[in-house]
Structure 1
């Protein structure tokens, strides 16, 4: 293998180990079988298809609302690829879709036998898998987890099907509820066992009465629980605090 050539599969593995949390969420779609003259389906190209000057690595990145995030991930990718001497065709999802839905455009590219190699997006892994647009990525995820630890359990629910990872998780938004485990440990409460709001309120109240003071998203005191919403309103924290 020359420096200017690599398999697309190995690129995913290299990027996972070298780029770490910057590694792209890989969607590496498989090419749909084409009809041969005899009416039989031809075998789809393997994941070892080589990248060379005639077949540059084709990567599509979504456009995040945070400009510096876009700049950082694009630079990390282009710098890494350039250092290896690999040809790269980089596009953003808006330009790729050009007014159509991303999933539909990806499906069309796969059916045409010219799919992108990697896609970073928040598209539904389950949908892409059900449409047979992506390849299993378990080996890549296992390499990354060996270095950085296991992915969040929730990600398994939305990216693992048929006991295989179908996309590579590397980025999670800071959504959901948060609490300080040490504060609840101090009163002997395992918050993971609480599943109703009334019990949550009682635990938060006990934590507050024990002397723990909490600060919410905007600095308001709350009782042991904080919910970040896109509206930036800590409404659950306000509710718990009365």
Structure 2
């Protein structure tokens, strides 16, 4: 087992998420605009000619080795140009607590930053408002609910650490889940931050929604990041 020192606290791998709520919206976007936002070591996985997929992940971590915090992730489906399986590359990963920010950057090379994230839940929806550098950037509302059980599924996330592509494997599943095809119940409002402009270039808020999902009681496990140069 690998243990990292983060702000004077040990973090032993794998990191365990024992309880969280997670909403995700999957958008169909312009592949060229998406490619402009990722490093050249990766290429966009096209869902159709000239189209890619942007995932917006909204996670309320309640019981987690890295603490309790909110997180908003903007990520694209990619593959390494050097070869390898399809996965996601996170371009923005705002959180609202400093410890998880430092851990995410140090352990996985994830682009975390500490920002203001406001969350409002109802019985049927969850609304997330993100402020970057103190400026309103984006608000996303996603349907909330479901009674399905989602078995743990293996996934892959890519990142750059010291300019070197790395691969992180993780699993995610849980109870109280649902998948809604199409954009019913999804709303997006953009602000005037540079990230708002990036999302507008992708076609938001009007980009087609492939699906949204919700997990009320999510569990996850995150492994170490492994360099692709080592054949991971």
Higher helix share: 1
TM-score (norm 2): 0.28
Higher strand share: 2
Q: State the structure with more CA Rg.
A: 1
TM-score (norm 1): 0.27
**Which structure's relative contact order is higher, taking Cα pairs within 8 Å and 6+ residues apart?**
2
